[in-house]
Structure 1
Amino acid sequence: MSDTLKRNIPISLPSMGQEELDAIREPILSGWITQGPKVKEFEQMFAARHEVKHALAVSNCTTALHLALIAVGIGPGDEVIIPAFTWVATANAVIYCGATPVFVDIDPVTFNIDPIKLREKITTRTKAIIPVHLFGLCADVDLIKEIAPQIKIIEDGACAAGAALNEKPAGSLGEIGCFSFHPRKSITTGEGGMLTTNNDELAERLNRLRNHGASISEEERHKGPKPYILPEFDVVGYNYRMTDLQGAIGVAQLKKLDAFIEEREWWAGFYNDVFAKIPWLRTPVYGDKYRHGWQSYVLFLNEETAPIKRNVLMEHLQQNGVSTRPGTHAVHMLGYYSSTFGIKPSDFPGAYAANEYSMSIPLHNKMTEADYNYVADLICSL
């Protein structure tokens, strides 16, 4: 596995090519570049792949979370349970609605919300739970439903396109699913997001909310026989739409999703085998009921037995051309949330440990065999 040449391996890199270039020709040449037929095609494909009745494209996953919470009626005075270890957008979306995020610690092995600890945080004000499918591994939504059968579940599937739990795709497990197409995700539209649901009423509400609250879409209005008709606006909505340029790229990317995941899964297995020899590193752990989406490959470093601190290791890898990142952050330790809610780092020990000792290493579809060998060599040589 040796490679004497120093490399430059980013933590992630979008995998795009001629298909994406060809895809954007149609909206560019047609002149229809805002939300239109290409977004609709992307939505239909995404719904079919994730086995849901409805998929609605939006500007990013944060806006998807915001709309999902509004659609199920979240507002001031309500509580929404979220994991303490996630990207800040999960919590921010709750704040946007005037509601209160209630943090729950994670399972230190999976990095996902601990369903048993979740039980302790349910009150009469709990109106929704946002399980996060972190790094592409679905949270145990089935167990969460058993514990809290009457509470709405909004899936934060930002990392989980193509993932599944008990052969049910992410996005079909709760009332609404929310996905991201940020460049660090397995498929990307630059920025962009998607909402999924099997509920017709919620789909109609979400469709209006993403488009200023309009009763009909721009495409319907402009292509209809009565050009003087303007939509009705019975609700206050938002401009959270996706463009047809993004939709066209999304169609091309979605066709590659399963091949992307299959390739990432193979190299994740390679990493698992190599790092199994290192007692102070824990590789990703999950059971047979999961299909991992492998948005990221995240290690956990045991600093009590490791010959090197996590941050020192990350600096060493960076100096040798390998980008890394902490898995994500413990939201309860961030300035706004810590000061506003009076939370101490030690209040959620699992999230605190993940914040301090997790490390994401490169895993993406632009890497070569030599790249993977180089990353493994650097870590194994310590």
Structure 2
Amino acid sequence: MEKRNIAISLPSTGEEEWQAAREPLMTGWLTQGPKVAAFEEAFAKRHQVPHALAVTSCTTGLHLALAGLDIGPGDEVIVPTFTWIATANVVLYCGATPVFVDIDPLTYNLDISQVAAKVTDKTRAVIAVHLFGRCLDIDALRAVLPAQVAIIEDAACAAGADWKGRPAGSLGDAAAFSFHPRKSVTTGEGGMVTTSNPELAERMNQLRSHGASLSEEQRHLGPRPYLLPEFNLLGFNYRMTDLQGAIGLVQLGKLDGFIDERARWAQYYCEQLADIDWLRLPTTPQGSRHGWQAFVTYIDPQKAPMPRNDMMEILQAKGISTRPGTHAVHMLAYYRERFGLKPEDFPGARDCNDHTMAIPLHNRMSEEDYAYVVEAIRQLR
């Protein structure tokens, strides 16, 4: 095989995004303004929610949702152990306590059967991660929770995904999405928070702009732009720029096409790699749509011809980028030391931390690229 260089992920951007960025640059409206508003409206419509608020990242979006629910010291928030560290960090930002629950190794999502045992009278919310674009069964999660416990979707990977026809972002009390370049659509950095709760939406809207009672767009376009707004809340500066909003509008228009293309190539991987007995492949729940932010496999350490890291090194030498699926937060130094956690405390997350491998899946790969990846994996012996 002739060596290729295949990135784990590349954003699919081009002339349309370049042209979209021109208008904010020419008008001089660079901070949150009309392009962000248009992006929010289109995103809300696509994900079937009445409220969408653009923010600087999924991390700040999750923080905003927790702050909007007034979660703070003395409160507990249930978090899966196999996720990006930000999912747990935002709980600490609020002064609350993250309570870890193990994951289902077959889906990489929260093991719902273990949740009820972790609920206490201090539990205020569960952060339900739709990892790699596969939605968690929110109906099953809700069934084991007291009514007063909020569900916040960490939908960082799940733009365009759905659970039995209901879009990610419309399933819980609030949700946060990411537009990082490794996601299916991007604005560079950036994120979106969604909710169907008008009071929560209004509170988050104020909090993302320093706690101002009026947004800058409302003030500048209103009859008295020279007057500063009132500040009734201690807020943050989590506003998206209009440059990002303009690019996001274009990217959002391509979202479904991007996911459809990824789904076809995910199916190709599943067909071509199905007979490798040491490699477990991801699945899609019946009647639901996977977002396919990443194609994450599991390498069975009992059957594999070599350790996962050795495989990744061989594939890297052949020009194929891979990554661990993500990390087990309870095994990271800060959480391990602060909370006295051990790897064996959450065996599902520990095993996925050590044995998952994401292979390239994105909208800038060619048919030859996919065939090359398949052949390289089949040669691992």
Whether 1:34 and 2:31 are equivalent positions in the alignment is yes
Matched residue, 2:106: 109
Q: Find runs of 4+ consecutive structure 1 residues off by over 2 angstroms.
A: none
Post-superposition shift, 1:120? Answer: 1.1
The alignment partner of 1:272 has SS state of helix
AA aligned to 1:284 is P
Matched residue, 2:233: 235
Choose which of 307, 328, 353 in structure 1 pairs with 2:351: 353
Whether 1:64 and 2:61 are equivalent positions in the alignment is yes
AA aligned to 2:24 is P
Matched residue, 2:71: 74
Partner deviation per Cα, 1:359-378 (whole Å, 9 max, x = no partner): 00000000000000000000
**Bigger mean CA offset, 75-84 vs 143-152:** 143-152
**In structure 1, how many angstroms separate the alpha carbons of the residues matched to 2:225 and 2:249?**
30
AA aligned to 1:79 is E
**In structure 2, how many angstroms separate the alpha carbons of the residues matched to 1:290 and 1:238?**
36
Partner deviation per Cα, 1:102-137 (whole Å, 9 max, x = no partner): 000000100000111111111111110001000000
**Bigger mean CA offset, 115-124 vs 363-372:** 115-124
Post-superposition shift, 1:225? Answer: 1.6
Cα RMSD, aligned residues only: 0.7
Matched residue, 1:122: 119
The alignment partner of 1:131 has SS state of strand
Output aligned runs, 1:192-207, within 5 Å: 192-207=190-205
Residue identity (%): 62
Output aligned runs, 1:8-27, within 5 Å: 8-27=5-24
Post-superposition shift, 1:149? Answer: 4.0
Whether 1:312 and 2:304 are equivalent positions in the alignment is no
TM-score with structure 2 setting the length: 0.99
**In structure 2, how many angstroms separate the alpha carbons of the residues matched to 1:130 and 1:142?**
14
**In structure 1, how many angstroms separate the alpha carbons of the residues matched to 2:94 and 2:379?**
49
Output aligned runs, 1:170-189, within 5 Å: 170-189=168-187
The alignment partner of 1:64 has SS state of helix
Post-superposition shift, 1:290? Answer: 2.2
Which segments of 5 or more consecutive residues in structure 2 lack a partner in the other structure? none
Matched residue, 1:133: 130
Post-superposition shift, 1:275? Answer: 1.1
Matched residue, 2:328: 330
Whether 1:98 and 2:98 are equivalent positions in the alignment is no
Post-superposition shift, 1:226? Answer: 1.5
Matched residue, 1:168: 166
Output aligned runs, 1:173-322, within 5 Å: 173-322=171-320
**Bigger mean CA offset, 48-57 vs 143-152:** 143-152
**In structure 1, how many angstroms separate the alpha carbons of the residues matched to 2:132 and 2:6?**
19
**In structure 1, how many angstroms separate the alpha carbons of the residues matched to 2:238 and 2:257?**
30
Post-superposition shift, 1:228? Answer: 2.8
Post-superposition shift, 1:285? Answer: 2.3
**In structure 1, how many angstroms separate the alpha carbons of the residues matched to 2:83 and 2:292?**
16
**In structure 2, how many angstroms separate the alpha carbons of the residues matched to 1:214 and 1:122?**
35
**In structure 2, how many angstroms separate the alpha carbons of the residues matched to 1:140 and 1:122?**
18
**In structure 2, how many angstroms separate the alpha carbons of the residues matched to 1:171 and 1:287?**
18
**In structure 2, how many angstroms separate the alpha carbons of the residues matched to 1:46 and 1:226?**
30
TM-score with structure 1 setting the length: 0.98
AA aligned to 1:83 is P
Paired residue total: 379
Post-superposition shift, 1:29? Answer: 0.5
**In structure 1, how many angstroms separate the alpha carbons of the residues matched to 2:362 and 2:146?**
37
**In structure 2, how many angstroms separate the alpha carbons of the residues matched to 1:52 and 1:149?**
24
Post-superposition shift, 1:289? Answer: 3.4
Which segments of 5 or more consecutive residues in structure 1 lack a partner in the other structure? none
